[in-house]
């Protein structure tokens, strides 16, 4: 459950900003754990049902992306793999793996913050969602709080580069 006060009364745009701020909190957790700072929250009926942040290094698992962790936890929380009433907020444009998982889980809506020029699957590298899917389409909102998410990424990679030079 989010700590936000009465998000139901917020308009659509402000609601997206409020939930993206919660995803940014998750990204900051990843940052503190020396993981690429990506965070996600899954929202159903204006309530956060799950959270996730990157855990690739911790788990030594290339699939332990924030979005996958969040969707898996969300499916467990609601007792259904179909996330057809859910919105996923992610601080980074999803990669092809995460985009495929979103389509497979029948996610209703995706809201993301920063583009990912290396692996972005919503137009930065390839656009999975632009292709007509035979069974499902996801509503996408891009670049909500892009500057904050991008700055967190920049800071993380500057820190990583500085750390590797000292070794």
Residue 67 falls in the annotated catalytic set = yes
Instruction: Compute the distance between CA of residue 96 and CA of residue 90 in angstroms, rounded to an integer.
Output: 14
Q: Please tell me whether the overall predicted TM-score, pTM, comes out greater than 0.85 for this model.
A: yes
pLDDT for the residue 128: 87
At residue 10, the pLDDT reads 61
pLDDT at 1: 37
Buried b (16+ CB within 10 A) or exposed e, 81-92: eebeebbbbbbb
pLDDT beneath 50, residues of the chain: 1-5
* Nearest-angstrom CA–CA distance, 108 and 102: 9
Catalytic residue among 22, 26, 35, 67: 67
The 10s digit of each residue's pLDDT in 16-53 is 999 999 999 999 999 999 999 999 999 999 999 999 99
Nearest to 52 by CA among 62, 34, 65: 65
Taken in order 50, 151, 35, 98, the sign of the CA dihedral is positive
Residue 123: the pLDDT is 83
Please, what sign has the CA dihedral across residues 35, 36, 37, 41? negative
Res 76: pLDDT: 97
């Amino acid at each position: 459950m989010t700590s936000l006060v009465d998000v139901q009364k917020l308009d659509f745009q402000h609601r997206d900003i409020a939930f993206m701020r919660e995803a940014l909190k998750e990204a900051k957790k990843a940052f503190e754990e020396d993981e690429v700072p990506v965070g996600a929250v899954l929202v159903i009926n204006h309530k956060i049902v799950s959270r996730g942040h990157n855990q690739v290094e911790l788990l030594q698992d290339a699939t332990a992306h924030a979005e996958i962790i969040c969707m898996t936890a969300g499916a467990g929380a609601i007792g259904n793999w179909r996330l057809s009433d859910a919105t996923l907020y992610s601080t980074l444009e999803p990669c092809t793996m995460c985009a495929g998982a979103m389509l497979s889980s029948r996610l209703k809506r995706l809201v993301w913050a920063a583009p990912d020029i290396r692996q972005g699957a919503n137009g930065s590298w390839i656009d999975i969602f632009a292709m007509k899917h035979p069974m499902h389409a996801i509503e996408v909102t891009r670049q909500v709080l892009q500057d904050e998410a991008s700055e967190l990424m920049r800071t993380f990679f500057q820190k990583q580069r500085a750390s590797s030079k000292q070794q």
